[in-house]
Amino acid sequence: MSTADIVALVIVLVGLGVVLIPFLYGAVYVAGRLGVGPLSNEGLDRSDSETAGLTVDLRGDEEAVYVSSPDRERWRPLFVVGLFLIPFFWGVPLCFYAYRLRNQPKYVVTSDRVIEKIGSDTSSYPLADIAQLQTGANLSERLTNKGHVKFSVDHSQLVTISGLRRPGRVARLIDA
């Protein structure tokens, strides 16, 4: 193969990737909107201790009132699309993005506390110790119709729950 043939092949592969990525990502988005497959678990209201693949030990009469695992399951179709696009040089960043989505923190708001789970580490914040509750959205969150809730625990530790579709609702549940 000559250099011109290799350059032409690379141009064709990159061109196919440019055409296929929006099409495949659009298909994943439409499937999520139609409810085909578990593409997002954010905002599920549950009272059981195992919700959306997130196991939490609840105390006594404690009840889970809000479970948030932002885009937790959205990584699977992106990972599959990324594997398909690896020959077109577009799959590696897409697989990395899917890995980042998979490792996002998960949150549970219960009747007594807020539970944060990052990987195998779990932190618990009693509702009585939460102060300075704020909601907001940065530029990237505004573009994706999401927001965040910030609160301090004992006026020392700042906790941010980001990637929420309804941050005001979560803030009301925490503040109640």
Does residue 111 register a pLDDT over 70?
Answer: yes
pLDDT in tens, 133-143: 899 998 888 88
User: Binning pLDDT at 50, 70 and 90, where does residue 17 land?
Assistant: low
Mean pLDDT calculated for residue range 55-74: 71
Tally the C-alpha atoms within 13 A of residue 72's C-alpha that lie toward its C-beta.
Answer: 20
Predicted pLDDT of residue 37 = 41
Query: 71: buried, middle or exposed (CB in 10 Å: 19+, 13-18, 0-12)?
Result: buried
A 10 A CB-CB count for 48 gives 10
DSSP string, 6-46: HHHHHHHHHHHHHHHHHHHHHHHHHHHHHT-S----TTB--
Higher-pLDDT residue of 13, 124: 124
Predicted pLDDT of residue 33 = 55
Inter-residue contact 85 to 16 (CB < 8 Å): no
pLDDT in tens, 33-54: 554 444 344 444 444 444 445 5
